[in-house]
Amino acid sequence: MNKEKEDYSFWTKYKRFAGNEILLYVVMVIGIILGIIIFS
């Protein structure tokens, strides 16, 4: 049933993909900021 829902809704896939992209960028930014704070 979950697979059918994923196949039925393009936006479900797109929002999950976009969420993963945003999360990835947020983690990268936090890592860079922490690195600057630690090394400065």
Q: What is the pLDDT of residues 1-40, one digit of tens each?
A: 455 555 557 667 777 777 788 888 999 999 999 999 999 8
* pLDDT number for residue 23: 85
pLDDT score for 5: 55
Determine the distance from the C-alpha atom of residue 28 to the mean position of all C-alpha atoms in its chain, rounded to a whole number: 11
pTM: 0.53
CB count within 10 Å of CB 1 equals 5
CA dist., res. 1 & res. 9, Å (int): 12
C-alpha angle 15-5-2 in degrees, rounded to nearest 5: 100
CA 27: distance to chain centroid? Answer: 9
Predicted confidence at residue 8, as pLDDT, reads 57
Residue 29's pLDDT is what? 96
* Distance in angstroms (rounded) separating the CA atoms of residues 33 and 31: 6
